[in-house]
Amino acid sequence: MNSIRLRSLPHLLLALVLTFAGIQQTAAQATADAKKEGVAPGATAAATPATAAAPAAGGGDAAAIAAGDALFKGNCAQCHAVNEQVVGPALAGISKRRPISWLIPWVKNSSKVVASGDDYAVALFNKFNKQQMPSFALSDKEITSIIAYVTSQEGGPVGGGVTAKNAAGTDGKDANAGTSGAEEGAGKYVDILLIVLVVVLIVLVVTLVIIGNLMKDVLRGRKDLDGRDVEILEQRFDWSKFYRSPVMRGIVGTVFALVLLYEGVQSVMAVGLTQGYQPTQPIAFSHKLHAGEHQINCAYCHTSVYKSKSANIPSANICMNCHSQIKTESPEIKKIYRAIERKQPIQWVRIHNLPDLAYFNHSQHTQVAGLQCQTCHGPIQNMEVVYQYSALTMGWCINCHREMPLNTKDNKYYDNLVKLHDTKNAGAPFTVSSNGGTECSKCHY
Nearer to ligand HEC, 51 or 189 (CB): 51
Q: Least CB distance from residue 190 to ligand HEC, whole Å?
A: 31
Nearer to ligand HEC, 34 or 94 (CB): 94
Q: Least CB distance from residue 42 to ligand HEC, whole Å?
A: 28
Q: Least CB distance from residue 212 to ligand HEC, whole Å?
A: 57
Nearer to ligand HEC, 2 or 129 (CB): 129
Nearest Cα residue to 316 out of 292, 282, 350, 272: 282
Residue nearest to ligand HEC (CB): 161
Q: Least CB distance from residue 175 to ligand HEC, whole Å?
A: 11
Nearer to ligand HEC, 54 or 94 (CB): 94
Mind spelling out the 3-state secondary structure of the chain?
A: CCCCCCCHHHHHHHHHHHHHHHHHHHHHHHHHHHHHHCCCCCCHHHHHHHHHHCCCCHHHCHHHHHHHHHHHHHHHCCCECCCCECCCCCCCCHHHHCCHHHHHHHHHCHHHHHHCCCHHHHHHHHHCCCCCCCCCCCCHHHHHHHHHHHHHCCCCCCECCCCCHHHHCCCCCCECCCCCHHHHHHHHHHHHHHHHHHHHHHHHHHHHHHHHHHHHHHHHCCCCCCHHHHHHHHCCCCHHHHHHCHHHHHHHHHHHHHHHHHHHHHHHHCCCCCCCCCCCCCCCCCHHHHHHHCCCCHHHHCCCCCCCCCCCCCCHHHHHHHHCCCCCCCHHHHHHHHHHHCCCCCCCCCCCCCCCCECCCHHHHHHHCCCCHHHHHCCHHHCCCCCCCCCCCHHHHHHHHHHCECCCCCCHHHHHHHHHHHHHCCCCCCECHHHCCCCHHHHEC
Q: Least CB distance from residue 353 to ligand HEC, whole Å?
A: 5
Nearer to ligand HEC, 55 or 272 (CB): 272
Nearer to ligand HEC, 115 or 199 (CB): 115
Q: Is 169 left (phi over 0), alpha (psi -120 to 50) or beta?
A: left
Nearer to ligand HEC, 80 or 185 (CB): 80
Q: Least CB distance from residue 161 to ligand HEC, whole Å?
A: 2
Nearer to ligand HEC, 216 or 352 (CB): 352
Q: Least CB distance from residue 427 to ligand HEC, whole Å?
A: 18
Nearer to ligand HEC, 7 or 419 (CB): 419
Q: Least CB distance from residue 186 to ligand HEC, whole Å?
A: 25
Q: Least CB distance from residue 39 to ligand HEC, whole Å?
A: 21
Nearer to ligand HEC, 212 or 314 (CB): 314
Q: Least CB distance from residue 6 to ligand HEC, whole Å?
A: 58
- Work out the burial of residue 136: count CB atoms within 10 Å of its CB; fewer than 13 is exposed, 13-18 middle, 19 or more buried: buried
